[in-house]
Structure 1
Amino acid sequence: MRQSLDTIIIPTSGRGLVEITDRLQERIAASGIVRGLANLFLRHTSASLLVQENADPAVREDLERFFARLVPDGDALFRHQDEGPDDMPAHVRTALTAVSLAVPVEGGALALGTWQGIYVWEHRRQGHRREVMLHVLGER
């Protein structure tokens, strides 16, 4: 059994989804692991990881509109606004989604479905530098 641990830096330009599938695939290929499990962990509380459709951008736009309705910026319900009106809504969005994923590795690549991609979902209006830890465990 082999393992590989890597940190991938993902710059975001503000609220929205940034596909990271290709960057993950490159790191998995470089690890030499052909069958196993890729564990991803996002080291932040105002962004999340997501497996989502990567064919039609309207899906990502619809998700963003849905979350804007569900958890609006500046809602009077929230007291925590240390970094502005999008601060607590970003934390709630993260709590409703995920900061970790586990995806099988087969043939040296992520075993994703035809239309699936992996995304960092930035929940803040300003861009940030996000860190994704990638731990791959398996056989060469």
Structure 2
Amino acid sequence: MTSTKSITRSTPSSVQATTISSSLLTVQTPGCGFIDLTSEAAKFVAEVRARDGALTLFIRHTSASLTIQENADPSVLVDLTTALARFAPDDEDAGWTHDTEGPDDMPAHVKTMLTGTSLHVPVLDGKLALGTWQAIYLIEHRTRPHRREVVLQFIGGNR
């Protein structure tokens, strides 16, 4: 059981949600791997003059996904790619029946199901409330390059 002395909470703040701002981010991927979207998300938040609220990111695809992960050590992304490949291998001997677009088609769908298609990031005082070592990533699960679309939507108050 956790001691109440080890838990603290700041005073609640409130803002009336007066705005909904949306934008479509188009990303050309080089193929399988992680693409850092953090700076694009931060630019959007600044552009819409966000103060406090929430940023939602939603990818409009079933073979690519979004995640928040460590941004300090690149080997984390390498290991995550390895783990996803172990969960859903791309090889033809894996027994997948759906292979309309090739042997990496069904594994890409499984990897998307495991990692997700949307993220919710709080915005506090005009900044993404990410932790020190966190970044927002698009994960391309297909071998070939693809054009991916991510909807950015801020809901909250403006400056």
Same fold (TM over 0.5): yes
**Number of aligned residue pairs:** 140
1:112 to 130, 144, 149: 130
Cα deviations by residue, 1:66-91 (Å, 9 ceiling, x for unpaired): 11111101244211111110000000
Residue 88 of structure 1 is matched in structure 2 by 106
Q: Which runs of 4+ in 1 moved over 6 A?
A: none
Per the normalisation by structure 1, the TM-score is 0.97
Residue 49 of structure 2 is matched in structure 1 by 32
CA shift in 2, pair 1:127/1:102, >3 Å:
same
What 5-or-longer segments of structure 1 have no aligned partner? none
Q: How well do the aligned residues superpose, as a CA RMSD in angstroms?
A: 0.8
What 5-or-longer segments of structure 2 have no aligned partner? 1-17
User: What is the identity percentage for the equivalent residue pairs of Structure 1 and Structure 2?
Assistant: 50
Give, in angstroms, the shift of residue 97 of structure 1.
1.0
Higher alpha-carbon Rg: 2
Matches within 5 A, 1:1-140: 1-73=18-90, 74-140=92-158
Cα deviations by residue, 1:32-89 (Å, 9 ceiling, x for unpaired): 1111000110000000000000010000000001111111012442111111100000
Cα deviations by residue, 1:3-35 (Å, 9 ceiling, x for unpaired): 101000111100000000001100110001111
